[in-house]
Amino acid sequence: MTLTAPVGSISRCDRWLACQRLQDLNIPCQCQSDGCLQVEIIHPIAILQLRSVVQQITASRPELIDWLERCWKTP
């Protein structure tokens, strides 16, 4: 089963960066002519990778530092 998820929570110019990163991760996606980023979710891990890519683009530096520190403390 394949799910196509539109991503609109990131700025238009950052969508191109996100698209390139997702393609590097072998996740099918494309930027539409209207600026929308369409991501094809083929397997569950792709959802986590999509979330991570969007988080890296949209989160502030303090938020990313906090997230990283929580990861280090996780057993």
Q: Which amino acid is at 73?
A: K
* Cβ contact 44:12 at 8 Å: no
DSSP 13-29: HHHHHHHHHHHHTT--E
Question: Residue 20 pLDDT more than 90?
Answer: yes
Sequence spans of domains, the chain? 3-73
Question: For residue 59, what are its two tokens?
Answer: 């989160």
pLDDT at 23: 95
For 27-48, b/e burial (b = at least 16 CB within 10 A) is bebebeeeeebebebeeeebee
Summarize pLDDT for 42-73 with one digit per residue, the tens.
888 998 998 899 888 888 899 989 988 988 88
Question: Residue 2 pLDDT more than 60?
Answer: no
